[in-house]
Amino acid sequence: MRCLAARVNYKTLIVICALFTLVMVLLWNRCSSDRAGPFPRSLAGPERRGAAASESDPARQQSEEASPQEQQKAPPVAGGFNSNKAPGLKYEEIDCLINDEHTVKGRREGNEVFLPFSWVEKYFEVYGKIAQYDGYDRFEFSHSYSKVYTQRAPYHPDGVFMSFEGYNVEVRDRVKCISGVEGVPLSTQWGPQGYFYPIQIAQYGLSHYSKNLTERPPHIEVYETAEEKDKTGRSVDWTVPKGCSLSTVSDKARFTSVKQFVAPENTEGVSLQLGNTRDFIISFDLKFVTNGSISVVLETTEKNQLFTVHYVSNTQLIAFKDRDIYYGIGPRTSWSTLTRDLVTDLRKGVGLSNTKAVKQTKIMPKRVVRLVAKGRGFLDNVTISATAHMAAFFAASNWLVRNQDERGGWPIMVTRKLGEGFKSLDPGWYSAMAQGQAISTLVRAYLLTKDHAFLSSALRATAPYKLPSEQRGVKAVFMNRHDWYEEYPTSPSSFVLNGFMYSLIGLYDLKETAGEKLGKEARVLYERGMESLKAMLPLYDTGSGTIYDLRHFMLGTAPNLARWDYHTTHINQLQLLSTIDESPIFKEFVKRWKSYLRGGRAKHN
């Protein structure tokens, strides 16, 4: 009996153990399922890891918040990367033999092989970056780095010039500064000494003209008008130290009151408190009786240090010492308006160097503290504004009128070597691109003011178009048949495409503005040039991009391929021309050349 009981207990124990094991297995599976449940299936693999990283990494969260595209949703991933595979899949390293020449390390997943993008980028000249969307990383790939601007409307000579409202000529590192005497950029493109480059000056004018048409009117703060009761109601806060004087006098020639100041150089000078933290374009009317200066004190982001920009009645270009920056503005012995961008003047001064490029600096003004006048002179209409686009535009337009020579051109006073095989251009050469963009600037100045000095200057500017480069003109002839206007009138001819199209746009502006009689010469030059462009445009198409010039044809060398920014310039120019000429060739080329930006290629045989 005892033996039977023992046998029963033994069997019962086995059953109990089996049931216990079964229950434990079921519970384990249930718990594992619960742990996996909160995560969506779409976050399996790399996306899942990216999301987890963003939750624990404050730097990534900050980056996402700062992104201008933070509200955009990432598009679904199509194909590639085997996204249906289980998470945690390990890639195998594999040697990749490139053209039987060298080896790079890649990764393999089954039959799929991945090459490092650092290698792909250099080999194929493509572009990519890691960006963050919705808390996880994704890789963004692009075939090119430059974009085409949408043509707003048919082009008109009084409208926006191409996409120049996006140009900021004065901030370029090859612009030494904005001259205090001339009010236009001084270029260091091909020489650290600095020179006036008419193309850059015209672009400076056209960009500000275009900005004026596309931006809202600026905020303007008036600080001094020399009137007894300021229109703004603000109290004018002048400080006049011992040995100095400040008075309000009537200027009969201007039919208004002005401020007269006397402040010897060895004094602190008379000062006007400004305290503007919003805007940084200062403007004032000025007339010196003796040598003097107008200085502007700026509080900056450089540990709140004070920097002073001095506008001095001499012809010195620019100087920088300690925290003082000096710009010569000429004698100013008759009334003139001085308008200066304090951000540009501060940064160009701090970044001053003896090389072609201005040194990069992070310094910025935070507050315009005060204006200080020294010497003897008169001051009126002190203002600070957000922008002063028309002042910059007319500075460029007036410079072009003053500096046009007797041959109708704007000589470029620096040696230019275009490349091996071309003779150097000695100082004094003309550029069809400079002539064209100068004409576009002058035409707009004439349309605004009806001042015939601007139109006359534009009409004289057609003279170099008619003369070959051997006679100091800009005309070349391709295959003894097609007239071409040279950006660089080299020997042999170079046939640069973008400069030629800019020269045509200038001729178009002039013929449309000057009328049938005065604009006849410009019309003939324009029509001949357009015929050449339509005939020669296919020569600049590589099947995957465009060509900058025709040196490969003229010199028998390798083609000079256009960078993507030049490629998009070609497209932008053709888009403009397609609105003033109905020939289908322009729209056809625009469509094809746009496709190259996305990796499109012409068909092979």
Q: What are phi and psi of 311, to 5 degrees?
A: -105, 105
Burial code (b: 16+ CB inside 10 Å, e: under 16) for 60-73 equals beeebeeeeeeeee
For the residues 562-587, what does the mean pLDDT come to? 97
> What is the pLDDT, as a whole number, of residue 61?
35
Nearest one of 579, 566, 586, 582 to 433, comparing CA atoms = 566
Measured in degrees and rounded to the nearest 5, phi and psi for residue 159 equal -105, -170
CA dist 390 → 148, 225, 393 (Å): 27, 21, 5
Cβ(222)–Cβ(349) under 8 Å?
no
Count the Cβ atoms, other than its own, within 10 Å of residue 437.
29
Is the model's pLDDT at 499 over the cut of 70? yes
pLDDT > 90: percent of the chain: 79
CA distances from 488 to 139, 200, 459, 499, 548 (A): 41, 15, 21, 8, 12
**CA-CA-CA-CA torsion sign (407, 411, 415, 421):** negative
- Is residue 436 within 8 A of residue 502, CB to CB? The reply is yes
pLDDT of residue 192: 85
pLDDT of residue 463: 98
Prediction pTM value: 0.84
Mean pLDDT of the region 229-234: 53
pLDDT value, residue 44: 37
Work out the angle between the directed axes of helices 584-596 and 564-578 (0-180°, nearest 10). 150
Give pLDDT tens digits for 391-436.
999 999 999 999 999 999 999 999 999 999 999 999 999 999 999 9
Cβ 572 vs Cβ 518: under 8 Å: no
pLDDT at residue number 46 = 36
The yes-or-no verdict on residue 43 having pLDDT over 50 is no
Residue the block writes with tokens 């002005």:
258
pLDDT in tens, 68-124: 333 334 444 444 444 444 555 678 999 999 999 999 999 999 889 999 999 999 999
Q: pLDDT at position 87, please?
A: 58
Residue 523 clears pLDDT 90, i.e. is over it: yes
- Whether the pLDDT of residue 547 is over 50: the answer is yes
For residues 308-333, average pLDDT: 97
Torsions phi, psi for 295 (to 5 deg): -115, 145
Question: Residue 197 pLDDT more than 70?
Answer: yes
Q: What is the pLDDT of residue 31?
A: 54
- Give the tens place of pLDDT for each residue, 286-309: 999 999 999 999 999 998 899 999
- For residue 246, give both structure tokens: 């400040």
Higher-pLDDT residue of 324, 17:
324
How does residue 66 score in pLDDT terms, banded at 50, 70 and 90?
very low
pLDDT value at position 221? 96
User: Quick one: what percent of the chain has pLDDT higher than 70?
Assistant: 86
**Measured CA distances, 380 to 251, 252, 583 (Å):** 11, 14, 55
- How far is CA 261 from its chain centroid? 41
Residue partners of 419: CB distance under 8 A and separation at least 6:
551, 560
Helix (H) or strand (E) holding 221: strand 220-224
pLDDT tier for residue 199 given thresholds of 50, 70 and 90: very high
**For 31-45, 167-181, 308-322, which range has the lowest pLDDT when averaged over its residues?**
31-45
How many alpha carbons fall within 13 Å on the CB side of residue 96? 15
Q: What is the pLDDT of residue 503?
A: 98
- What b/e readout covers 114-133, taking b as 16+ CB neighbours within 10 angstroms? eeeeeeeeeeeeeeeeeebb
Contact 528, 478 (CB under 8 A): no
- Asked whether 311 and 327 are in contact (CB, 8 A), the reply is yes
What is the enclosing helix (H) or strand (E) of 460? helix 452-460
pLDDT of residue 14: 73
Mean pLDDT of 253-275: 95
> Residue 488 and residue 476: Cα distance in Å, rounded?
10
Res 478 pLDDT > 60: yes
Average pLDDT, the chain: 89
Mean pLDDT within 538-552 = 98
CB under 8 Å to 433, separation ≥6 — which residues? Answer: 199, 487, 496, 498, 499, 500, 502, 503
- Residue 410 confidence (pLDDT): 98
Residue type for position 122: K
Q: What is the pLDDT of residue 234?
A: 55
